[in-house]
Structure 1
Amino acid sequence: MKRSSLKIISLLLVCMVVLSACGGPSNRSNSSNGGNEGADKSAKLEELTVVLPVAGTISKDLQMVEDAINTIAMEKIHAKVKFLHISFGDWEQQTNLMYAGNEKMDLIWISGSNYTNLVAKGQLQAMDDLFADHGQGITAAIDQSYLGATKIGGKTYAVPTVRDFASSTGVNMNKALVDKYRIDVNGIKSLDDLEQVLRTVKEGEGPEMYPLVPGANGRTFLDDLNNFDALSDSIGVLPNYDNGLKVVNYYESQEYADFLNKIRGWFMDGLIPKDVATSQTSRVDLIKANKAFAYSAKLNPVSKVTETALVGQEMEPAEIYPAVATTSSVTGSMWAIPVNSTIPDKAMDFLNLMYSDKDVVNLYDWGIEGTHYVKVDGMDNVIAYPEGVDKADLGYSMPMGWMFGNQFLSYVQQGNDPEVWTKMKAFNDGAGRSKALGFLFDATPVKTEYAAVTNVITQYKIPLETGSVDPAKILPEFISKLKSAGIDKIIAEKQKQLDEWAQANGVN
C-alpha cells in the first residue's frame, strides 16, 4: 500500500476517535444540593408528572412557578416536571382511576391512611435501590429511624416529608382569657388540671361560654387527648406507646371507661356544647364568637403561630402529654413513585431536589422572589409580601410546605419565629418514639371483620367520646357490638403481625 494511502486511513481513524469522543456522554458534575449528578445533556429531556392534592383553587401564576422550577430541573437533572393538582375532595377517586388506567404518574403524594393498601395492590415501586445514586439528599435530610418507619416487608415504598414527625397532646386556649384568669399554662399536666381551668373560665364567662370543643368537626376529644399508639386505626392500641408490645382493646379498658365518664361529666356541667356531636360550626368560629375558650389538639413548636394565624387572635397551647413519634405521625405525608412511572430513576432525581434544593422548595412553597414575596432586610430566611401586595391579590399561594419535600428548607413569613425549623428539628430529635414505630398493620386477612367493626365504631365513637351519651348505658352496648363484629379476631391478627415485625426488626 502506498504511503499516501496509509496517511489518509490514519487521518480518518483519528477523526473517528475524536468524533466519537465528542458525541459521547458529557462530563457529569455534582449538584450543589443533595449530591445529584448533572445530567447527560445529549440524552432525551425526560418529562415527569408530579401528582399532588390541593385545597381550593389553583393559583393563577402556577405555570410561572413551574417554569422557574423547570429551569433548575433541566440544568441539574435534565428533566422537566408538570404538576398535576387534584382537589382533596376528588383525590381518592381520581388517583384510583389513574392507577387503574396506567396514566402517566412519576411522583405522587400519599398519606399513611392508604399506604399499605397501595403497596398491597402493587401500585408503588420500591425505592431502596435508587437511594445510593439518586437520593443522597433525601437520606441526608431524614433521620434513619423516621425513614425506616415507612418500610413494608423490608422495602421502602414511600418517603416522608420533612416536617413535625411527632406531636404532643393538649389544648389550644384563647390567650386573652388565659391572661384574664391568670391561668398557669405550665401547670396543666393532666385532665384534672385542665378541668379546673375549664371550670374557672365557665364560672367567669357565664352560660353562653362552653370552655372546650373538639379540634375539628367529626373529631372526638379522645382523638387528641390520648396517651397511646393507635397502631393506625385504634382497633387495638399500644398503651403508653410500649406496654411490652401487647395490643389491647382500648374500648373495653378501664382507662377508656374513666375517660368517657370524665368527658360525660364535663358535658353535663356545661363545659362542652350540647350539640358537640353534630355541630358544623368550626372551632375557629366558636373562638371568635367568644362561645369557646379552648379546643383539644396535637401540638408542635409552631402550634402557637399557626393556630393564632388561623383563628385571628392569639392562642396559647398547653401540653398535657409530651411529644411522641408513631408510625402514623411519620407517614401522614409522604412521596412515592407509582408503578405507572417508566423513569423511576429520573423521578427519584427530582424527588431528591425536593428534599435538598432550597430554591426548588421555596419556588413551590412561596413562588418567585420579587413577584410573590421579598426577603426581609438582614434576614436571609424571612420573607414578606412585596410592597403594595397582600394575600388577597397575590398571584401565587400554596401554603402547604408540609407536603412538598423538605419543609426545613422553606422560608419563614415575617412575624413568625425565624428559628422555627431549627426548633422543629430539635423537637423531632428529642421526641419519644413508640416502641412500634415502623409497624404498619395490614387488615387484608380480616377485611370482613374490619369492615363490620369500623361500622360499629362509626355509630358509637363520636357520641361516646364527646360526652353526648351516658357511658353507663351505651358503653356496654358498644363493646358487645364490637365483639359480635369480630374485634377480637382483628386484635389477634394485629398482635400476630406486630410480633412478626418485632422479631424481624430486633425489637423486644
Structure 2
Amino acid sequence: MKFWKKALFSAMAVSGVVLAACGSLTGDKKEASQTKDGLTNILMYQIGEPPKNFDTLMENANKIIEKETGAHLEIKYIGWGDYGDKMAIINSSGENYDIAFAHNYVLNAQKGTYTDLTDLIKTTGKELYDELDPAYIKGNLVDGKLYAVPVIQNVANQQMLSFNKELVEKYNMDISKVNSYEDLEPLLATIKEKEPNITPMAYTKGTKVSDNVDYILGDLLPFVVDLDGDHTKIVNQFEVDHYKEHLRTIHKYYKAGYIPADSATSDVNFDLATPNWFVRKETQGPADFGDSLLTTVAGYPIVSRPLTDAYKTSGSTQSANFVISSSSKNTEKALEVLVLLNTNKELLNGLVFGPEGVNWEKDPSGENRIKLLDGYANDTRMSAWNTGNNNLLYITDKVSDADIAQSKSVLESAKESPALGFSFNTQPVKSEITSIQNIMNQYNASIHTGTVDPDVAIPELMERLNSEGAYKKVMEEMQKQYDAFLADK
C-alpha cells in the first residue's frame, strides 16, 4: 500500500475501540436480493474512489462473473477518509451486505462481524487456498480461525526512500550510499539551495518514521517488537535507541526547512503524479517489481533505496483482506465470487488494467506481456493491490527483466517477523487502549514530523503514559498474550 493511502488507513485501523459518528448513515437490513435475471446479487464494499469508467469495467467483469458463478457483483465505494467510520456503522446496524475490504480485521473477527471461512475456503476456495503463501494463513488466523480472503500481493514489504530520478540525475547525486534517514542530509541541502519550488522531503501529518519494528496494534499506538533487538519482548517504540536516533534526524531536517513547516497539522498530501517533491517514503514489495509500479503511476521516473528490511508481518499479510459479513445471506456464493476474482486471469486483468484495446494491448514479445496505451490512466482502472491475486497480472512494458529479478530476490530474502500471526485480544483492556490513544493523538504527528524535539517530547510523553495505570495494564496484558503466542509456536 502506498504511503499516502497507508497514512489515511492506519488512522482508522489501530484498535477500533471507539465508534466515531459519521453523519446520517444507516444500515439497510434487506434480505438477500436477486437481479431481474434471477442472479444472486453480491454486494461488496470497497475502499477508495471508483474509476471514471467504473460502469464499463463492471459490465465487462459481470459478463464473466455471471457466467461462472450465477451471481452479479455490485461494488459500492467508500472514500479513504470515511471508510472506517462508515463500515463501523454498517456493521453495527446489521446491514445485510456480502463482501467488504476488511477494516480492523482482528477486532471485528473477534466480535463476530465476519464469517468464519476456516473450513469453507478449503473446499469452495480450494483453488485459491492452495496458492496462498503460508504466511497469509499464519498472519490472518484469529483465535485459530481464518476469516479473510487475502489478496495475494506483497506478502512481504519494506519501507523505501523514493526519489524523483530527474532531480537525482540533474545534480549527479549518488543515492547508492543512502541506507538511512541520516544519509540524506547532503542531498536535501542541495535541493533546498537549488530548487526553491521543490519540497525536499514530502511529509504530511500521517507520515511516520520507519524502522525495523513490527507494530502490534498499528502505527498510531507505540507497541512494537524490535526486529533488531529482543524478539520476545513487547516494547515502546519511543524507547528503542535506533528509533529515537531517526526521530532526532527528522527533527534536525525539520529545523533546516527540509520538511514542510505545517506538516504536523496540514491535510495537504503530496500527489505522486505531481513532481513537486524530491524524496518521500513508500512501501514496496515483490509485486511492485521494484520502482516500475511507482514510475508508471507517477508518469515520470522514480528510483528507491531500502529504508528497512523486507519482512512478512501480520501487517503485510493483512494489508488487503476481503471478508464476508456474518450477516450475509449468500456466504458460499460470495466466496465463489472472491475466489473467481483471484483465480480468473481475464477477469482480474480487465479490472486492474482496464479495457483491452483502449488501455492496453498484447505484446507479441512475451506470452504474459502487454503494452500500455494512451487510454491507460489511474482513473480508468482498479488498483492491483486490493482487487485480486497479483500473480495473475500481466507484466507491462514498463517492467524490465531486472525488475523481475529484483522482485524474486526480495521475496526469497524476506524474513518472517517473530510476531507474525500474533493477534492481540483487546477485549480485556478496551477502555485502557482508548485512554492511551487519546494521549498518543496529542504527540504522534508532532514527534514523527520532527516538529518538536524528541529529546524533550518523548520524556514528556513517557511521563504521561507511565502516570496512567492504563498503559501499564495494556503492556502487561499484551506481553502475557505474546508470551503465550510464542510458547505455542
Task: Mark yes or no: TM-score above 0.5.
Answer: yes
Distance 1:343 1:277, change over 3 A: closer
Bigger Cα displacement from structure 2, 163-172 vs 412-421: 412-421
User: Match for residue 272 of structure 1?
Assistant: 259
Give yes or no for contact 1:446–1:489 (8 Å, CA) kept in 2: yes
Aligned to 1:55: 48
1:213 matches 2:202: yes
Q: 2:366 matched to 1:360?
A: no
1:350 partnered with 2:337:
yes
| Alignment-mate amino acid for residue 81 of structure 1 | L
- DSSP 3-state at the match of 1:125: coil
Query: Residues 477 and 159 from structure 1, CA distance in 2 versus in 1: closer, same or farther, beyond 3 angstroms?
Result: same
CA offset at residue 437 of structure 1?
Answer: 0.7
Deviates further, 347-356 or 145-154: 347-356
Offset of residue 385 of structure 1:
5.8
Cα distance 1:286–1:148, how it changes in 2: closer, same or farther (>3 A)?
closer
Pick from 172, 175, 180 the counterpart of residue 182 of structure 1: 172
What is the CA-CA distance between 1:93 and the residue it aligns to? 4.2
Look up the match of 1:12: none
* One-letter amino acid of the counterpart of residue 425, structure 2: D
- Residues 285 and 338 of structure 1: CA distance in aligned 2, closer, same or farther (over 3 Å): closer
| TM-superposition CA deviations, 1:85-132 (whole Å, max 9, x none) | 333344334434443444332222214xx1122112211111111123
SS, match of residue 234 in structure 2: coil
Distance 1:407 1:443 in 2: 32
Counterpart Cα distance in 2 of 1:47 and 1:353: 15
The alignment partner of 1:159 has SS state of: strand
Q: Deviations over 1:225-250 (max 9, x none)?
A: 21111123243210126623211122
Whether the 8 Å contact between 1:48 and 1:105 is mirrored in structure 2 is no
| Structure 2 equivalent of residue 36 of structure 1 | none
Q: Which amino acid aligns with 1:390?
A: G
Partner of 2:443: 460
Shift of 1:453: 1.2
- Asked whether the equivalents of residues 49 and 84 of structure 1 are also in contact (C-alpha less than 8 Å), the reply is no
Equivalent position SS for 2:310: strand
CA distance in 2, matches of 1:68, 1:155: 35
- Structural mapping, 1:461-476, within 5 Å: 461-476=444-459
Match in the other structure for 2:480: 496
Question: CA 1:93/1:199 → structure 2, altered by over 3 Å: closer, same or farther?
Answer: closer
Report the 3-state secondary structure (helix = DSSP H, G, I; strand = E; otherwise coil) of the residue aligned with 2:309. strand
Is 1:333 equivalent to 2:320 in the alignment?
Answer: yes
Structure 1 SS opposite 2:130: helix
- TM-score, L = length of structure 2: 0.81
Which residue identity does 2:455 align to in structure 1?
A
- Aligned 1:54-453 pairs, distance under 5 A: 54-57=47-50, 59-60=52-53, 62=55, 64-111=56-103, 114-202=104-192, 205=194, 210-214=199-203, 217-222=204-209, 225-233=210-218, 234-240=221-227, 243-284=230-271, 288-289=275-276, 292-300=277-285, 302=288, 304-370=291-357, 373-384=360-371, 390-391=375-376, 397-417=380-400, 424=407, 427-453=410-436
Q: Is the 8 A contact 1:174 1:287 kept in 2?
A: no
CA distance in 2, matches of 1:103, 1:119: 16
**What SS does the corresponding residue of 2:308 show, helix, strand or coil?**
strand
How big is the shift at 1:79?
A: 3.4
- Report if aligned partners of 1:47, 1:82 keep a CA contact under 8 Å in 2: no
Cα 1:264–1:378, aligned 2, differ >3 Å: closer, same or farther? closer
Shift of 1:375: 2.2
State the shift of 1:423 in Å: 5.6
What amino acid does structure 2 have at the position aligned with 1:314?
P
Query: Which amino acid letter does the alignment assign opposite residue 58 of structure 2?
Result: E
Kindly indicate whether the alpha-carbon contact (under 8 Å) linking 1:213 and 1:276 is maintained by their aligned counterparts in 2: no
Deviation at 1:333, TM superposition (A): 0.9
Structure 1-normalised TM-score?
0.79
Q: Is the 8 A contact 2:296 2:398 kept in 1?
A: no
The amino acid across from 2:471 in the alignment is: I
Is the contact made by 1:54 and 1:86 (CA closer than 8 Å) also made in structure 2? Answer: yes
Instruction: Give me the whole-angstrom Cα distance separating, in 2, the residues matched to 1:103 and 1:268.
Output: 50
Deviation at 1:309, TM superposition (A): 3.8
Distance apart, 1:414 and its partner CA: 4.0
- Count residues with an aligned counterpart: 448
Aligned in 2, Cα 1:236/1:374: closer, same or farther, shift over 3 Å? same
The AA in structure 2 aligned to 1:411 is: Y
Where structure 2 has 5 or more consecutive residues not aligned to the other structure, the ranges are 1-36
Larger radius of gyration: 1
Cα distance per residue 1:277-310 (max 9 Å; x no partner): 2344433489734xx4212233335352333344
Question: Whole-Å Cα distance in 1 between the matches of residues 390 and 347 of structure 2?
Answer: 11
Three-state SS of the structure 2 residue aligned to 1:197 is: helix
- Superposed displacement of residue 206, structure 1: 6.5
- One-letter code of the match for 2:254? F
Aligned letter for 2:427? T
Which amino acid in 2 is paired with 1:76?
A: E
Q: What is the CA-CA distance between 1:157 and the residue it aligns to?
A: 0.5
CA distance in 2: counterparts of 1:244 and 1:385, whole angstroms: 45
Mind listing any 5+ residue stretches in structure 1 that lack a counterpart? 1-43
Instruction: Give the secondary structure class of the aligned counterpart of 2:381.
Output: coil
CA displacement at 1:329 relative to structure 2: 1.5
In the alignment, residue 230 of structure 1 is paired with which amino acid? Y
* Cα distance in 2 between the residues matched to 1:297 and 1:351: 28
- Note if contact 1:383-1:412 (Cα within 8 Å) is conserved in structure 2: yes
Q: 1:209 to 1:247 in 2, by over 3 A?
A: same
